Amino acid sequence: MIALGLGLILGMGGALIVIAAAFPDTVLVRPSTGEHALGHELRSRLSLAGLNSVPVPVFFVVSILLGALAGGAVQAWFGIIILTVLAGTVGLLAPVTIVTWRARATRRAHRMLWPDVVDHLVSSIRAGTALPDALAQLAEAGPESLRGSFRSFAHDYRTSASFTGALDRLKQDLGDPVADRIIETLKMAREVGGTELPGVLRSLSAAIREDSGIRSEVDARQSWVRNAAKLGVAAPWLILFLLASRPEAAAAYNSPIGVTVIVAGAVVSVVAYRFMLALGRLPEERRWFR
């Protein structure tokens, strides 16, 4: 029982150290929102992953509980403290990893839809439809996966009569850098006026479509790099867990040399995996307008 408690404490401590190293700027506060940079980024990822209703504090609590559960299960099964620490760290970071994966998948899917959204806006504006009404029409005529966000925009605009405020909430709901560019263009057109908006939107649509085509082609070609990285990282750890099920192996891994071997293997695995992903993935477009 004491060993289990010690394993949980060590797992939580190791996980907190990893979070501090991975997110060194979490103490910075954005002047515009008053939120921490980490919380703001996590809120955006939750929105893209379809978890808008999940508060950030609840997400952190769930992550901590999963980390403690994973660490406790490994400690009870294998009795190896260093594996308990690693399992607690993996359990703590698993929700963030899943949300990030879902957010990236949603962003890739949406990237192919934004040119159609812009084309619809151009057609509506050229037909004489007011800009707020053209956006509200996307709740029915837009791509299926984006209709919910534009339906919320239409409701916000009807209730508040503030086009800028409704656009800001739409931008936060979408959480997409391409959507940020489109929305900021619409806000500028609304504030400045002029007749060049259709031409600007057509140019933006062409640029988005070209960028999406290039990214899709490169992403398809580099998928084998990511698959090789996942297989290469998973295989040694599966063998380790098979070996750790034997009592003599558990005693060896609890020794200082065994701890050193596992820690060194974990560091090499993380560094190699991140390096392989960096080679096989295009850099994500940053959100400059928030």
pLDDT tens per residue, range 124-154 = 888 888 888 888 888 888 888 888 888 888 8
Task: Please indicate, yes or no, whether residues 188 and 243 belong to a single structural domain of this protein.
Answer: no
Task: Please indicate, yes or no, whether residues 40 and 105 belong to a single structural domain of this protein.
Answer: yes
CB 174 within 8 A of CB 109: no
Task: Please indicate, yes or no, whether residues 185 and 262 belong to a single structural domain of this protein.
Answer: no
Query: Of the candidates 190, 217, 244, which is a domain's last residue?
Result: 217
Task: Please indicate, yes or no, whether residues 157 and 256 belong to a single structural domain of this protein.
Answer: no
Q: What pLDDT digit, counting tens, does each position of 32-50 carry?
A: 444 455 666 777 777 777 7
Task: Please indicate, yes or no, whether residues 105 and 119 belong to a single structural domain of this protein.
Answer: no
Task: Please indicate, yes or no, whether residues 6 and 85 belong to a single structural domain of this protein.
Answer: yes
Task: Please indicate, yes or no, whether residues 208 and 280 belong to a single structural domain of this protein.
Answer: no
Task: Please indicate, yes or no, whether residues 203 and 238 belong to a single structural domain of this protein.
Answer: no
Helix, strand, coil share (%) of the chain residues, nearest 5: 80, 0, 20
Q: Which residues pair with 29 in a beta bridge?
A: 36
Task: Please indicate, yes or no, whether residues 170 and 182 belong to a single structural domain of this protein.
Answer: yes
- For the chain, what is the domain count? 3
Host domain of residue 150: 114-217
Query: Of the candidates 81, 110, 139, which is a domain's last residue?
Result: 110
SS3 of residue 246 by DSSP: coil
Query: Of the candidates 43, 78, 110, which is a domain's last residue?
Result: 110
CB 146 within 8 A of CB 113: yes
pLDDT: which is higher, 226 or 236:
236
Query: Is the whole-model pTM more than 0.75?
Result: no
Task: Please indicate, yes or no, whether residues 9 and 103 belong to a single structural domain of this protein.
Answer: yes
